Amino acid sequence: MKTFALSQSTGAGSPDVAGFFDPRTFSVQYIVSDPATKQCAIIDPVLDFDEKSGATATFCADALLKYIEEEGLTVAWILDTHPHADHFSAAQYLKEKTGAPTAIGQYVTQVQALWKEIYHWPEMPTDGRQWDTLFVEGDTFAIGELSARVLHSPGHTLASITYVIGDAAFVHDTLFQPDFGTARADFPGGDAKSLWNSIQQILALPGNTRLFTGHDYMPDGREPKWQSSVDEQRANNPHLVGKSEEAYIALRHQRDGELPMPKLILHALQVNTRGGRLPEPEANGKRYLKIPLDALEGAAWD
């Protein structure tokens, strides 16, 4: 199975994009680098977790660090696109290893407030202090000589953002590959109409913009893929071609009503709303996750 691919820079101001696919969670992690300065950003890194044994590990994150070392890169940013529901974020681990600042959208505070109630965490800070930087729509930043900007892309979650870095856009869980469709919008705080609007904003980027998705589910058993373009999505995405806003919302509601929740959603959100920090050890030195029962009413069963 292909788990790595390099999308090379197309010229000045364009990044190299290394994609790392995690088959356990169907997630894609990215190292986005400036060929001129060797500065890079890590996007959506995975902290390994086995829900059967409760074991945690840093296999995925260490593979990113190995690539960074081999390529002579320096980490300028550790970026998450949103609080993930299907894997733990390795942002905090990678900050400890590299010293690079962490960032996410400021809208994460809305997600924190939502899940604070679900987990019944009265002491949970909900001001985003768990990250070094909170971006808002239109913010810009640099990775070496690369220019990056932030789009607010809600719908899948309240906090979802897209990073546009040169001619590459990291669209997280809005769009999947053009042969698969679009993301679900039924998580707490999700909204199909908002997702439609976010997708339209992304598809308004230049047609040759490279789009990098947060997951791939390998329809019909094909190899994993995570790169497409705006033009390819406009022409081929089955959830979008020929669809009005109303038809899309109806399709999304119908499909989402049939989908079971991700198996790690209740595990992952209590880590990812805290910037990738695991729960603090208790008196016996062990860490514990807190799983609320019957918290996601109406969710489909497997």
Q: Is the pLDDT confidence value at 94 over 90? A: yes
Of 119, 159, 58, whose CA–CA distance to 279 is shortest?
A: 119
CB 98 within 8 A of CB 73: no
The fraction of the chain above a pLDDT of 90, given in percent, is 98
Q: Is the pLDDT confidence value at 187 over 90? A: yes
> What does the pLDDT read at residue 297?
85
Would the pTM count as exceeding 0.85? yes
H or E element that contains 64: helix 59-70
Q: Is the pLDDT confidence value at 22 over 90? A: yes
Q: What number is the average pLDDT over the span 113-122?
A: 96
Of 269, 258, 271, 257, whose CA–CA distance to 295 is shortest?
A: 269
Confidence at 299, pLDDT banded by 50, 70, 90: confident
Per-residue pLDDT reduced to its tens digit, 52-76: 999 999 999 999 999 999 999 999 9
Report which of residues 297 and 251 the model is more confident about: 251
Per-residue pLDDT reduced to its tens digit, 230-246: 999 999 999 999 999 99
CB 31 within 8 A of CB 75: no
Distance of alpha carbon 222 from alpha carbon 244, whole angstroms: 29
Distance of alpha carbon 185 from alpha carbon 193, whole angstroms: 9
> What does the pLDDT read at residue 302?
85
> What does the pLDDT read at residue 106?
98
> What does the pLDDT read at residue 160?
98
Of 92, 9, 12, 59, whose CA–CA distance to 274 is shortest?
A: 92
Of 149, 147, 181, 143, whose CA–CA distance to 163 is shortest?
A: 149
Confidence at 178, pLDDT banded by 50, 70, 90: very high
CB 177 within 8 A of CB 216: yes
- 177's CB contacts (< 8 A; 6+ apart) are 213, 216, 225, 226, 228
CB 22 within 8 A of CB 60: yes
What is the residue extent of each domain of the chain? 14-272
Q: What number is the average pLDDT over the span 189-198?
A: 97
> What does the pLDDT read at residue 298?
83
Q: What number is the average pLDDT over the span 17-36?
A: 98
Q: Is the pLDDT confidence value at 33 over 90? A: yes
**Which CATH topology does 14-272 take?**
Metallo-beta-lactamase; Chain A (3.60.15)
> What does the pLDDT read at residue 195?
98
